[in-house]
Structure 1
Amino acid sequence: MRRLVVRVCLLLCAAGAAHAAPGGTERSMEVVLEPASGDVVVVADLTIGTDGSYRLRYRDAPFAPHFLSMRPFQCLPAPPRLQCHLPYPYENGRRITDVDLGDLEYDLLFLVKQADEFGVDFWNGRYYRLAWEDDAIVGVAMATDMNILASSPPEGETRPIRNNDLTAIEPSDTPYPTLRIRHARGEQQ
């Protein structure tokens, strides 16, 4: 029985790192937002280490700085709206596996607002539910109230947004309904 438990553990551990770094090397990917129609926008670069740790660096372009609700935001124009990156304010382990992309989901939070509005409403959040699709990571935009992040997370909890806090939305109701993390240009797949 003990050997079976050890084998299962080894299989699960190996599966958890399978997408992290094939061939035991670090890999570079790019994060793109896809509108319902039109060109994709490359917004960040992602480096995944052999142990599943990652580094995410947002690009300066195509974002534009906006000062909304008394704080700075980096926003993408999507007339007549803006989609603004919302940095996650709490601890994040920045590690992914085949079965857990939660840390990365929290690094990819956004708010949507009308471009002609002065402030930003945290209730109009976008949370990309991520999943592996072959050798890419694909996220579907879900609506959520980001006011949940206004108060500190419960003791010991670093992921306060729950499944019941997320609502499916029609692709036409958000500027970028899909987020895709794909191999960076020039990297072998």
Structure 2
Amino acid sequence: MFNKLFLILALFSISAQSLANDPLSGNKHIYLIDIKGNELMIGDVRFSTAGDKTHYDIHLNHSLFKDFFLSMKEMKCLEGPELWCHLPYPYMTPREVSQKDLSWLAHDLLFMYKKKADFGANFYNGIYYQLSLNDGVITGIAQAVDLNLLASAPEDQTSAPITQAELDNVEENLRWLPKLEIK
């Protein structure tokens, strides 16, 4: 009896540990990382699996963001050397990810940066975090993207519209929050 109970507890412990180490399962924290390496936890993402699909829900900590009215639109922005405004993807998505495709998650983590002295919002200054899995952590490198391309809904709403073709490198030393981690 004791051996059976020990075996069951050991299997449960191994199973729980492997779930905790899986970057696409359970609850994870979302961090933006500044140019000095400081982490700012901005929210959480919850991954859940149904069949062969992994879904996610994002919850940002809006108490960290200030409300700004830019170009006739209310925006939630982080305030630092630049304003870093979150721009939720405006159309329906499947909210699905896989080990090979994190693009929908990246679409829900779009930002626009703005120098404090600049007037209004310039959607040309979009930030798309190119996400990948590295040693059990989802990491993102800021890429420049013109978010004006989202002004109208894409014809094919089953594929993420922002692809490598729309992205340009960002000079990491010039942007306040060039990296993202989900762990």
Match of 2:55 in 1: 53
Q: CA deviation at 1:157?
A: 4.9
Match of 2:24 in 1: 20
Match of 2:147 in 1: 146
What is the rounded CA distance, in whole Å, between the counterparts of 1:102 and 1:38 in structure 2? 24
Higher alpha-carbon Rg: 2
How big is each residue's C-alpha offset from its partner over 1:17-43, in whole Å with a ceiling of 9 and x where there is no partner?
Answer: x6433xxxxx11000000011521111
Q: CA deviation at 1:158?
A: 4.6
TM-score, normalised by the number of residues in structure 2: 0.82
What is the rounded CA distance, in whole Å, between the counterparts of 1:156 and 1:28 in structure 2? 27
Secondary structure (helix, strand or coil) at the match of 1:50 reads: strand
Match of 1:77 in 2: 79
Aligned residues: 159
The question of 1:29 aligning with 2:28 is answered: yes
Q: 1:28 to 1:121 in 2, by over 3 A?
A: same
RMSD: 1.5
Match of 2:13 in 1: none
Matches within 5 A, 1:2-17: none
Match of 1:40 in 2: 39
Give the conservation status (yes or no) of the 8 Å contact 2:93–2:158. no
Q: CA deviation at 1:116?
A: 2.3
What is the rounded CA distance, in whole Å, between the counterparts of 1:132 and 1:59 in structure 2? 23
What is the rounded CA distance, in whole Å, between the counterparts of 1:20 and 1:59 in structure 2? 20
What is the rounded CA distance, in whole Å, between the counterparts of 2:178 and 2:23 in structure 1? 24
Moved beyond 3 Å, runs of 4+: 155-158
Give the conservation status (yes or no) of the 8 Å contact 2:23–2:138. no
Q: CA deviation at 1:144?
A: 0.8
What is the rounded CA distance, in whole Å, between the counterparts of 1:47 and 1:139 in structure 2? 17
* Unmatched runs of 5 consecutive residues or more in structure 2: 1-21
Q: CA deviation at 1:175?
A: 1.1
How big is each residue's C-alpha offset from its partner over 1:72-125, in whole Å with a ceiling of 9 and x where there is no partner?
Answer: 11101122x101001101111111110110110000000001112231000000
TM-score, normalised by the number of residues in structure 1: 0.79
Q: CA deviation at 1:156?
A: 4.1
